[in-house]
């Protein structure tokens, strides 16, 4: 077990080292941003026994929540945070599988009730690409938003990634037929956020009755 954990840790370090080495090797500025919003926004951090009002911004490349205190940039310890509110968005923290290793990360709440739906935003680094521009030139290094991924949680259960209707229905403790009929009638697509929100809202409405 120790050997496996050590190997995974080394691989993770090598991956990060490779990315940052690629960044350092280029003298050209990197296009894009690591942040969902570059600007700090007044928000609230909720702990088990207290809350803290501070300027916040979410780094989706490193999956960390940054805040300012006395003008200095700092990073929240996700293990000690219950939730974070920034503007109209609420983030909750969970341990999840990140490329084969467990990591604490931030998930934005899309709808809540008996079932809670979460969105996971991610930004990836793309190294410079030689001769890939439309004019035959080089494409510069850039930070690019990756497709959003979605997760759900039933009650206080574990976090699960949204996959397809069949697996979701199998996980529901009740109202499977009603949700299946709703998904068919409304032509719910698991690739569309608004459809997922509609499905979860329907389930929560049925669960409340």
What's the confidence (pLDDT) of residue 100?
Answer: 81
Half-sphere exposure of 119 (CA within 13 A, CB side): 20
- Average confidence (pLDDT) per 10 residues, the chain, 209 residues: 36 42 60 95 96 96 94 93 95 88 93 97 90 65 95 94 95 95 97 97 94
Which pLDDT belongs to residue 136?
A: 57
Residue 144 pLDDT: 95
| Domain assignments of the chain as residue spans, ordered by start | 30-158, 163-209
**27 DSSP 8-state letter:** -
pTM for the model: 0.82
pLDDT given at position 16: 43
Contact 154, 115 (CB under 8 A): yes
How far from each other are the two terminal CA atoms of the chain, in whole angstroms?
Answer: 48
Q: Which residues pair with 45 in a beta bridge?
A: 52, 84
- What's the rounded Cα separation, in Å, for the pair 98 and 195? 26
């Amino acid at each position: 077990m120790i050997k496996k954990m050590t190997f995974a840790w080394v691989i993770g370090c090598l991956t990060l080292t490779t990315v940052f080495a690629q960044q350092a090797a280029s003298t050209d500025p990197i296009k894009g941003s690591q942040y969902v919003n570059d600007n700090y926004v007044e928000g609230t951090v909720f702990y088990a026994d207290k809350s803290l009002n501070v300027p916040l911004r979410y780094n989706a490349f490193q999956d960390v929540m940054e805040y300012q205190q006395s003008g200095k940039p700092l990073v929240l310890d996700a293990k000690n945070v219950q939730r974070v509110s920034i503007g109209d968005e609420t983030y909750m923290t969970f341990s999840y599988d990140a490329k084969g290793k467990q990591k604490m990360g931030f998930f934005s709440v899309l709808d809540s009730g008996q079932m809670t739906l979460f969105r996971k935003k991610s930004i990836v680094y793309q190294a410079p690409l030689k001769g890939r521009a439309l004019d035959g030139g080089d494409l510069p290094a850039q930070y690019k938003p990756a497709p959003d991924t979605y997760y759900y949680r039933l009650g206080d259960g574990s976090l699960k990634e949204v996959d397809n209707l069949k697996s979701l229905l199998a996980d529901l403790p009740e109202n499977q037929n009603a949700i299946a009929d709703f998904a068919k009638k409304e032509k719910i697509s698991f690739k569309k956020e608004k459809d997922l929100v509609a499905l979860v809202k329907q389930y929560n409405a049925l669960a409340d009755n």
